[in-house]
Structure 1
Amino acid sequence: MDAHLITKIIHMSAVSLLILVFVARAATLFVGTQQQQPSPKVRKGFVGLQHLSLTLIIITGAILLVMNNFEVQPWFYAKVILFFVLWSSMIKTYREDNNILLVQRRVGVLIGAIALVGILGLVMMKPVFG
């Protein structure tokens, strides 16, 4: 197998891991919450898996970008913006701050889910703009 295919496989595996962790971590906002905070029982494991998947996505994405000589389609830029929206919403949703209400955290997860679905939609449809 060539390096490009292996990198794509790692990238998509990291995306799959991120989706699983996103859903599992979102469940902690609905089950076992304590004082406006997500359930603390499995927090470290989910944080570790989330960081691993995001790091792999960023690194393999950058490697794929270099392998393609920075030649991208216009939808790529929308995908990057939605990735930052997803990342930002996850940071703000799971911040350890008792001033953030549980309902605000749940809205943060909703915004992240919309961004994630948007990214997946862009990747699957590969729309042509202009």
Structure 2
Amino acid sequence: MEEEMSNSIRRMSTRSRKVAPKMAAALASSDNRTQAMLARLEALENDNAGMEMVQNDDDDEASLDEDDQVYQKKQSKSTKRKTRQAKALEDAKKAPRTFLELLNEVKIMKARHYSLLFSREC
């Protein structure tokens, strides 16, 4: 019995939980907790607000129902900063390529094409 008590005491953590003082004050009352929850919910809804209804005017896919609507995601403004690596990759795509780079790319494309043909036959 005494061993069980000592084991349970030994298992308790002595580490104290650190919470920012402003956060502790904000979550102290239930009103503040519900307000924080609603703010998080609103932020989540705003993240998904990019979906809007757009009419599909393609002549290729004509249908008898003119009421068909297509959902497209609205292009959001990029608020994220680009890293140096992302900028370098973007600049590398825009930069002119040498003949050897183009030749290498053609070889890679042919290899992919042949591997797809070979995998379909088996």
TM bracket, shorter-chain basis: under 0.3
Which one scores higher on RCO, CA 8 angstroms, separation ≥ 6? Answer: 1
Larger radius of gyration between Structure 1 and Structure 2: 2
More helix by share: 1
Instruction: Point out the structure with the larger strand share.
Output: 2
